[in-house]
């Protein structure tokens, strides 16, 4: 595990968008914008079971997440690592992230359960211009 940098922690502390990239079954990259935050030195975000991200991560836990400063797109942290899925408290996380990013509670109701993606960083690179 490589520790998150000060910039990565700062960016994850604010409402900055993350681009999560996983590897599809055919070997191609799959990217999605997600809301994220730091927890105990790891990056976490929420998704829904059955979507491409959790399916891809169950097959191959390699992941890359780019966290971009919403005020300056040339300021970012690129985090590569290994992901695991957690089901406990996943609904609470999406509500917390909704408040962080929109100032409102999460109102979308899913028919499938939510899951938390936990990324243990193995390589972190910052760009701060």
Number of domains in the chain: 1
Boundaries of domain holding 66: 6-128
Residue 102, domain member (yes or no): yes
Q: Are 35 and 46 in contact (CB under 8 A)?
A: yes
pLDDT tens-digit profile, the chain (129 residues): 899 999 999 999 999 999 999 999 999 999 999 999 999 999 999 999 999 999 999 999 999 999 999 999 999 999 999 999 999 999 999 999 999 999 999 887 767 899 999 999 999 999 998
Residue 96, domain member (yes or no): yes
C-alpha–C-alpha distance, residues 94 and 116, integer Å: 9
DSSP conformation class of 28: -
CATH number of residue 14's parent domain: 2.30.110.10
Residue 1, domain member (yes or no): no
Residues 105, 70, 106: CA angle, nearest 5 degrees: 10
């Amino acid at each position: 595990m490589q520790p998150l940098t000060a910039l990565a922690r700062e960016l994850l502390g604010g409402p900055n968008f993350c681009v999560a990239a996983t590897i599809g079954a055919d070997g191609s990259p799959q990217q999605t914008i997600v809301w994220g935050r730091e927890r105990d030195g790891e990056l976490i975000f929420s998704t829904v079971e059955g979507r491409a991200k959790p399916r891809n991560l169950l097959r191959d836990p390699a992941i890359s997440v780019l966290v971009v400063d919403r005020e300056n797109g040339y300021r970012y942290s690129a985090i590569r690592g290994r992901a695991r899925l957690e089901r406990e408290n996943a609904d609470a996380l999406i509500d917390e992230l909704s408040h962080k990013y929109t100032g409102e509670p999460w109102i979308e109701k899913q028919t499938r359960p939510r899951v938390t993606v936990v990324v243990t960083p193995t390589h972190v690179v910052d760009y701060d211009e």
